[in-house]
Amino acid sequence: MAIRIETPLTEEKARALKSGDSVLLSGTVYTARDAAHKRIVEAMEAGKPLPFDPENAVVYYVGPTPAKPGQAIGSAGPTTSYRMDAYSPALIARGQRGMIGKGKRGPAVVEAIKQHGAVYFGAIGGAGALLSKCVRTAEVIAYDDLGAEAVRRLTVEDLPLTVVIDSEGNNLYETGREAYLAARQK
Amino acid sequence: MREIQASALTEVVKRLCIEANCHLPKDMQARITEARAGEDWPGACEILDRIIENYTIADERSVPICQDTGVACVFLEIGQDVHVSGSIADAVNEGVRQGYSEGYLRKSVVRDPLNRVNTGDNTPAMLYYDLVPGYAIRITVAPKGFGSENMSQLKMLKPSDGVEGAKEFIVRVVEEAGPNPCPPIVVGVGIGGTFDKCALLAKKALMRSTDERNPDPYYAALEAELLARINALGVGPQGFGGKTTALAVNIETAPTHIAGLPVAVNINCHVTRHKSEVL
């Protein structure tokens, strides 16, 4: 049974989620991937304004395809998250509560998740056409020159996610595989 | 001698870019459906169902299966008795430009690997030419996503490492990649040649239909053994555990030097796309 969650993702909501939970997320999420993360963290370090307030925000690592006429957004599945590992701890320290991507995270990110009560969600990699149906509105709010990598504000409805790393540091990429292999040996 | 205008390539490349990105090849659909039927881990079944739903939506609506519509790898097999008037590379890049614009595909190419400014039109293509006998040009467009490309590796093994060393390396590359390349994956393997040739063999292996095994029974058996070993890792769809880590292992080989045993592993995701046309 999936858990319905709405943004803003407060620390209380984030801490209630457990690795392996299925979640349907609704509300506002911000898109950012490699180049946008670099700029956001540089802006933070320089004390400049940010494209969005990180406090209790959820960031989706995605660079969508262009919307066809009549679509809110083109295909919009997650990109591989480890490339954001250099930037995520700084954002989490500033209050960012949720990350949506796919693939492994480094120890510094896991530590930041535990320390600040954040959560790392997995969306299905390669399911861009399916996931785009959950996006109601999309608007570029910063770094337009980056094209697909620009920062967008999305309104999503029932975006299907899995809690991969929870606020205690439990990691589905480790436990899921172990559980499968253990069941296979029985 | 047959005369072909380079501009004729543009229309074909444009069409192939769009079709390859929106319509998953039938062999891949068959592999995913078979994997779903053979999967018994509940979470894995659910993900495979969603993957099937995703490529079905993309197919019906002609929208990209994945938002990473890739760098356009374009392979031209040019008949030796064809003469092409005009610049082949310019014609292919114009086809990519038009296809990625008119097909609402993502522009994912930066002009310079370190200075990283997007070219804005997904050009240039990664263009490869082969000369073959005949009067035709066979054009293959294989959009390649980088989530899986980034998990690929090449190693110059020693001849004494032998087949066991090669197997160990291939399985280790897949295990290290884990959830990152969007499993279930297709594993393209090149064995032999030189450093560069070996990598290209691995790429070309990904363009062979997963319906076909290597024509050499020795390598066909090796493909089957590697697939079984990889699927015993338990990584599973999306890395959440399960039987289905890979859908196929395709191996291509070439003669090599007495001192060497190059092995390249080029990983592709469950959206392994390629489409060909003969001009």
Longest dimension (CA), chain B: 59
Q: Give yes or no: residues B155 and B178 share one domain.
A: yes
Q: What is the C-alpha radius of gyration for chain A, rounded to an integer number of angstroms?
A: 16
Q: Give yes or no: residues B105 and B215 share one domain.
A: no
Give the model's pLDDT for residue B254.
Answer: 98
- Nearest Cα to Cα of residue B151 among B184, B179, B193: B179
Which one-letter DSSP state was computed for residue A58?
E
* Residue B253 counted as domain residue: yes
Q: Give yes or no: residues B140 and B7 share one domain.
A: yes
pLDDT digits (tens, 9 = 90+) for B198-217: 999 999 999 999 999 999 99
Q: Give yes or no: residues B171 and B136 share one domain.
A: no
SS3 A173: helix
Shortest alpha-carbon distance between residue A40 and chain B (Å): 17
Please give the span between the terminal C-alpha atoms of chain B, in angstroms, as a whole number.
14
* Residue B55 counted as domain residue: no
pLDDT digits (tens, 9 = 90+) for B40-89: 999 999 999 999 999 999 999 999 999 999 999 999 999 999 999 999 99
SS3 A15: helix
pLDDT digits (tens, 9 = 90+) for B94-114: 999 999 999 999 999 999 999
Q: Give yes or no: residues B82 and B166 share one domain.
A: no
Q: Give yes or no: residues B200 and B80 share one domain.
A: no
pLDDT at B35 over 90: yes
Which one-letter DSSP state was computed for residue A80?
B
Q: Give yes or no: residues B89 and B174 share one domain.
A: no
Residue B259's pLDDT band, with cuts at 50, 70 and 90, is: very high
Give the model's pLDDT for residue A172.
Answer: 98
Break chain A down into helix, strand, coil percent, rounded to 5.
Answer: 35, 25, 40
Provide the token pair at B259.
């001192």
Chains A–B, number of C-beta pairs less than 8 Å apart: 151
pLDDT at A99 over 80: yes
Q: Is B118 exposed, middle or buried (0-12, 13-18, 19+ CB in 10 A)?
A: middle
What's the total number of domains in chain A? 1
Q: Give yes or no: residues B114 and B170 share one domain.
A: no
* Residue B186 counted as domain residue: yes
Would you call A37 a catalytic residue per the annotation?
yes
Q: Give yes or no: residues B77 and B164 share one domain.
A: no
Domain boundary among B112, B144, B176: B144
Q: Give yes or no: residues B160 and B177 share one domain.
A: yes
* Residue B266 counted as domain residue: yes
The answer to whether B50 contacts A130, with C-beta atoms less than 8 Å apart, is yes
* Residue B59 counted as domain residue: no
Q: C-alpha distances in angstroms, B115 versus A31, A38, B109, B144? A: 22, 13, 12, 22
- Which residues of chain A lie closer than 8 angstroms to B66, CB-CB? 75, 77, 126-129
What's the total number of domains in chain B? 2
In A123-176, beta strands by DSSP E: 135-142, 151-165
Q: Which is catalytic among the residues A13, A37, A39, A152?
A: A37
Are A110 and A87 within 8 A, CB to CB? no
Considering CB atoms only, which of A71, A74, A127 is closest to B54?
A: A127
Domain boundary among B80, B111, B144: B144
- Which residues of chain B lie closer than 8 angstroms to A120, CB-CB? none
Share of chain A above pLDDT 90, in %: 98
Query: How high does pLDDT run on average in chain A?
Result: 97
Give the model's pLDDT for residue A1.
Answer: 79
Give the model's pLDDT for residue B152.
Answer: 98
* Residue B25 counted as domain residue: no
| The residue count for chain A | 186
Shortest alpha-carbon distance between residue B30 and chain A (Å): 17
The angle formed by the CA atoms of residues B168, A122 and B18, to the nearest 5 degrees, is 80
Give the model's pLDDT for residue A185.
Answer: 84
Q: Give yes or no: residues B7 and B92 share one domain.
A: yes
Range of the domain at B233: 147-273
Share of chain B above pLDDT 70, in %: 100
Domain boundary among B128, B144, B160: B144
- Chain B's closest residue to A160, CA to CA, is B50
pLDDT at A186 over 80: no
CB contact B55 to A (< 8 Å): yes
Are B188 and B151 within 8 A, CB to CB? no
Range of the domain at A60: 3-185
The answer to whether A126 contacts B182, with C-beta atoms less than 8 Å apart, is yes
CATH number at residue A9: 3.20.130.10
Mean pLDDT within B232-238? 98
- Chain A's closest residue to B54, CA to CA, is A130
Q: Give yes or no: residues B140 and B93 share one domain.
A: yes
Q: C-alpha distances in angstroms, A98 versus A8, A94, B104, B177, B198? A: 10, 12, 29, 24, 41
